[in-house]
Structure 1
């Protein structure tokens, strides 16, 4: 078999399939919808939840940063916070560096 024969054969088989275009299009659309449902939508929900959490931070909240630093919020600005750590240390950091809030049961264990 040479390359020209393969191309000719591929063209003949493509001419014979007239209904294949619709089924391919439907499968492609179905794949896009499934991809959106399982990957894009959950990620956008998670991003909205994180944004609401960070906008709701207030003075006195006990939080954990993405670097694992535990502390209490002393001051909240538009994009930054002042965090008090153990030993009266103060750190200024971006709100985006806050990963989670302490839970009451976690504080009781300490």
Structure 2
């Protein structure tokens, strides 16, 4: 008889209520970890896609240089007057000065 009484008093949403903490944890993880990482990846890919000749860049190793040549996968940087170095495009970390910005300042 006690099982029937417990079943009669049980909420029809009982099984749904047990999944609410799991759903909330997933939502928190999505908005705190996954979404910001997707935004950073999108901005980095856009920056790598917009690289142009004469942009001043910094590589992931901390090397500063100016882009002399650029292809789909390779970037040739001028480090000083006598030194040219070849890197993968993905090795560029940041653009310090874009060639478009440099031309506007002139």
Q: TM-score range with shorter-chain normalisation?
A: 0.7 to 0.9
What are the superposed Cα offsets for residues 42-94 of structure 1, whole Å, 9 maximum, x if unpaired?
A: 00000000000000000000000010100000011001111110242111111
Higher relative contact order (CA closer than 8 Å, sequence separation 6+): 2
Q: Equivalent of 2:65, from 46, 71, 96?
A: 71
Distance 1:75 1:26 in 2: 54
* Deviation of the 1:28 alpha carbon: 0.4
* TM-score, normalising length: structure 1: 0.73
1:47-62 mapped onto 2 (5 Å cutoff): 47-62=41-56
Residue in 2 that maps onto 1:31: 25
Distance 2:32 2:60 in 1: 26
Distance 1:24 1:62 in 2: 55
Structure 1: give runs of 5+ residues left out of the alignment.
Answer: 1-14, 105-110
Residue in 2 that maps onto 1:96: 90
* Deviation of the 1:102 alpha carbon: 1.4
Distance 1:24 1:31 in 2: 13
User: Which SS does the other structure have where 2:80 is aligned?
Assistant: coil
Aligned length: 89
Distance 1:91 1:103 in 2: 19
